[in-house]
A and B are shown apart, each in its own frame.
Chain A
Amino acid sequence: MDEDVLTTLKILIIGESGVGKSSLLLRFTDDTFDPELAATIGVDFKVKTISVDGNKAKLAIWDTAGQERFRTLTPSYYRGAQGVILVYDVTRRDTFVKLDNWLNELETYCTRNDIVNMLVGNKIDKENREVDRNEGLKFARKHSMLFIEASAKTCDGVQCAFEELVEKIIQTPGLWESENQNKGVKLSQREEVNGGGACGGYCSVL
């Protein structure tokens, strides 16, 4: 079954404690909502294969604990990640305000700068919304992220969020192509053309 898998992508879910990271992931991988989900300790890990535009991609998704004390464990999971899902709770403004801190952390630990970031505003099924959709949109635009609102409970936007993210990653070839295909600048060649050397027909008179 793995044979037609185009690539394995590493994805990271981050955000304040209790915003619903684990719930979103559970919804995506098992299509269920478990109100009895314990607060994450350290990091958790799930795998799912999806197909986007006919490309199959295996996702290795790392769900991190939002709880501050566990965060010292997480830097390693940023390494080599191709996509990051940053979650906040639309019914708790403080989780939105903290987004800046999370972006900082991202910047510090991410080893590459072409990583794809997605912002997800979760729990839109709830009544007491505190963060307007437009605010989320604005934040995402400011930081060049994908943006979507979702609910792990009602399933809204969850599938779509992961698919968008994967599609975007696949469109960013440097992110998933093998490192050997990495094209470097060929400065040396240009230099050769300019400076002397043997004549292959092209030359000056002397």
Chain B
Amino acid sequence: MAADSEPESEVFEITDFTTASEWERFISKVEEVLNDWKLIGNSLGKPLEKGVFTSGTWEEKSDEISFADFKFSVTHHYLVQESADKEGKDEVLEDVIPQAMQDLLCMNNDFPPRAHCLVRWYGLREFVVIAPAANKDVVLSESKCNLLLSSVSIALGNTGCQVPLFVQIHHKWRRMYVGECQGPGVRTDFEMVHLRKVPNQYTHLSGLLDIFKSKIGCPLTPLPPVSIAIRFTYVLQDWQQYFWPQQPPDIDALVGGEVGGLEFGKLPFGACEDPISELHLATTWPHLTEGIIVDNDVYSDLDPLQAPHWSVRVRKADNPQCLLGDFVTEFFKICRRKESTDEILGRSTFEEEGREIADISHALSKLTEPAPVPIHKLSVSNMVHTAKKKIRKHRGVEESPLNNDVLNTILLFLFPDAASEKPLDGTSSTDNNNPPSESEEYNLYNQFKSAPSDSLTYKLALCLCMINFYHGGLKGVAHLWQEFVLEMRFRWENNFLIPGLASGPPDLRCCLLHQKLQMLNCCIERKKARDEGRKTSTSDNVTNTYPGDAGRAGDQLGPDNLKGTEKEKGEVGKSWDSWSDSEEEFFECLSDTEELKGNGQESGKKGGPKEMANLKPEGRLCQHGKLTLLHNGEPLYIPVTQEPAPMTEDLLEEQSEVLAKLGTSAEGAHLRARMQSACLLSDMESFKAANPGCFLEDFVRWYSPRDYIEEEVIDEKGNMVLKGELSARMKIPSNMWVEAWETAKPIPARRQRRLFDDTREAEKVLHYLAVQKPADLARHLLPCVIHAAVLKVKEEESLENISSVKKIIKQIISHSSKVLHFPNPEDKKLEEIIHQITNVEAMIARARSLKAKFGTEKCEQEEEKEDLERFVSCLLEQPEVLVVGAGRGHAGKIIHKLFMNAQRLTESSDEAAGMAPPEEELKRMGSPEERRQNSMSDFPPPAGRELILRSTVPRPAPYSRALPQRMYSVLTKEDFRLAGAFSSDTSFF
């Protein structure tokens, strides 16, 4: 029956197991695992170095086996050792005892700061644990425990495995293990006692020594010496004397500061609660021998101040609330909101105020209205209230649009030009562009694909973040965004440049939203120039910088010339809009005949160079060096040309997609070139206008000089002359260049069709902005917020100079730059980045807390100060730090004081005397005896007492081999545990 229900994979086992019991099967499975893991035989490693349990790497391997239908997990825990030469196990040395037994006596790793409990109790470097696989499963009954233990024993015996094997019994939280280790002729039993109530005789050394001795049951007299190691751990929780420092401000300090306490554009920073919750002082007597020290129920020599070793660890508050982290996290949450701006605000809110899209002046008039009170003060105090309320209640519960003061403050912050002397003059806004610094820090936007830290986009991101956190949550965000979009439209319609954006085409290294704003600025700039040009050009002045009335300019470029292109344009869709004008606009241009007067293009239409030469040159920018026209020797002029259309990355993407779609055939390639020839054609026309009567050769010499090949030749008269001609590829009949040249009419740039339709592009951008939901907005701006948060963390770190934090910040930057460069980073990755930033914030806050507690700033002696600072930074980075000089060292004295103050507070909280300075207290202490008593009371009762007793004793008979014996005991408030490892000689029984 058993065989059927449990098919075995290994064929040869089938016959053996038909009659096997569950128990036998279990044992064989244990053996199998031990064999698989190659834990058989003795492999001696190097003696354990001091501290290697902490500094080394621990690894574990797991497998699952079952006893009937009860599942167990088997786990091998081991310290990774360099030369763990497991192959060398063939030469098993007969009289060498197993590694684990030797390790029982090793004193180099007593009381490791952090280790598996079995390591702590027994000093093992390697062991295997069998435990119920499911957390809720337990082995409780004594018979089952015994059954397991004997299985272990048999498996060890059968395999010759010398690694200790433990079984976990009782509830997991009790951490009860029994186990065994076997070697040739020797065995160690691992036993354990775990009690909630401590019998009185176990609370001190002398009682424990008695147990140890009786456990060993040593037949020898006198008993070999017992070595003793003791550690008492004291916990300090009461930091009252040392206020949570001001520096990382608590909420009140942050928003309460009257002088610009909370400024837009400044991120909050720091933990809201003390990120260091406890200090643990461990006082250790690493090596005592019996009789040297007295510790019994009435008297103790174990004065913590006198302990030879002190070490300290700090317990960090679990996830302390950190302002910056919260701030960014809350902003990130917006990314998941689905509502549109209108849905959030409810259209009516704004209709009531009579604000319509068409009447935008309202938004701006708000900016220019004189503020009755200095805006800063007013809004800051306002924020204080809101912030307090916000933080007391749960953030985000109360969502509301912004009140006017807050809105004004923000708009002024974003658009400082609105408040300046010459309000709203576009040109003044360029002054606001901080000169781009070349510093690495400034260029971070490049890596994050965010926006420069002095840009409007970046500021907007910070404002939205702040609004979201302190002023009305999502509703506030939607409100500000709506105002922002209105402001954008106002600026477009009134020709006011947007401040805080680098001029020029969109910077593709920045986030798309930033590019869109730059694009809008390009449109405004061109429109403005055109409108100004219109004012002045009534007298037919040539504007040099911009193509004049391009939009309205008529020209002779017949629709037929570009018919082919136009048709194809229809096919490939809208993306061509930005490359050339639509037909509608083109016809509109034709109807405008005013500009055509007296320029003689009508005659030039069919005319050759000769006729053209009679034309009045137009749209010259400057002379091109000393070059002259080939046919008449007139200077060659570089024409004013149309600026190429600026593009945002999404447009460019669309374009390249369309171009790629044309395929790789010859026709496709031709079409592609054709589509991109608008600029070439426009330049040719400008060139012809500026250089009446010119040839393609002239054009090529300016435009593509390498395609005009000059050679020195000897003419008939024997003189050296320069002879030039077009390159071979330019001479190919009817190539695109020749074709374009032939169709090009002499038209100056300002009267050409616009290559860039700023009106349409601006409308596209404005529409794009208007339809962004808060969630879209948050996604656009998250890189800016992360960028700002990283800068903030960097800035704060630089005040503390914590090398580990520096390293992590670097990692965060490189990690973020990878994540943020992809178009749609996964939420999980973004969360991870934010989490990392929060961690760093907490680390810095911890450093500050510790520095304040240890008073590193107050330390006057330079050397001591440095030592103390080093000590504090070690506390942050290492699990446990040795206090140099123990209780007598500088740090030790401070720790002593900390405990003393806490003690006094608890003992006599109402007594004023308790506040006496600790120095005097120390002096007051008289004789050593008295002092001892005093200092004992400086500390609370130890929260943990650990003891390790060790000896090498023959068992069970006086003539047996002397083997390692060890007992560990720990006493804390909640429990008491004895963990014994008792070895005995098995060969003569």
Interface residues of A (CB under 8 A from B): 16-18, 29, 35-47, 60, 62, 67, 69-70, 72-73, 75-77, 79, 92, 108-109, 111-112, 179-180, 182, 184-185, 187-188, 191, 194-197, 201-206
Contact = CB atoms under 8 A, between A and B. Distances in A.
Contact of A70 (B111, B647, B676, B818): B676
Contacts of B313: 204
Contact of A188 (B120, B737, B835): B835
B85 interface: no
A183 to B, nearest CB: 9
Interface stretch (B91-99, B457-465, B466-474, B701-709): B701-709
* Chain B interface residue number, banded: 35 or more
A39 B839 contact: no
A159 to B, nearest CB: 18
Contact of B839 (A43, A46, A109, A191): A191
Contacts of A79: 508, 649, 652-653
A41 B736 contact: yes
A44 B120 contact: no
Interface string B824-835: 001001001001
Interface string B795-835: 00000000000001001101100110110001001001001
Given A39-B737, A185-B815, A203-B114, A75 B652 contact: yes
Q: Which 8 A-B pairs have the closest CB atoms?
A: A42-B676, A76-B652, A72-B644, A38-B735, A41-B673, A18-B706, A179-B822, A201-B116
Contact of A45 (B653, B664, B815): B664
6 contacts: A39-B704, A41-B676, A41-B736, A45-B662, A185-B814, A188-B832
B115 interface: yes
Given A43-B659, A70-B676, A79-B649, A194 B116 contact: no
A49 to B, nearest CB: 12
Nearest to B728: A35
Contact of A16 (B647, B706, B946): B706
A29 B115 CA distance: 63
Given A39-B735, A185-B812, A196-B318, 4 more contacts: A188-B835, A205-B946, A206-B235, A206-B280
A18 B728 CA distance: 11
B944 A205 contact: yes
Contacts of B737: 38-39, 41
B207 interface: no
B836 A188 contact: yes
B545 interface: no
Interface in B671-691: 672-673, 675-677, 679-680, 683
Contacts of A75: 508, 647, 652
A40 B815 CA distance: 39
B729 A39 contact: yes
A17 B704 contact: yes
A118 to B, nearest CB: 21
Interface string B635-659: 0000000001001010011011001
Contact of B233 (A72, A191, A206): A206
A180 B826 contact: yes
Nearest to B661: A45
Given A39-B707, A112-B821, A205-B946, A69 B680 contact: yes
B324 to A, nearest CB: 16
Nearest to A204: B114
Interface string B504-537: 0100110000000000000000000000000000
A111 B817 CA distance: 10
A42 B814 CA distance: 35
Interface string B428-460: 000000000000000000000100000000000
B724 interface: no
A79 B676 CA distance: 19
B818 A201 contact: no
A182 B833 CA distance: 14
B649 A205 contact: no
B415 to A, nearest CB: 29
Nearest to A187: B836
Given A67-B704, A72-B644, A73-B644, A45 B120 contact: no
B676 A73 contact: yes
A76 B647 contact: yes
Contacts of B118: 201
A162 B858 CA distance: 66
A135 B509 CA distance: 32
A195 B842 CA distance: 12
Contact of B736 (A38, A73, A108, A197): A38
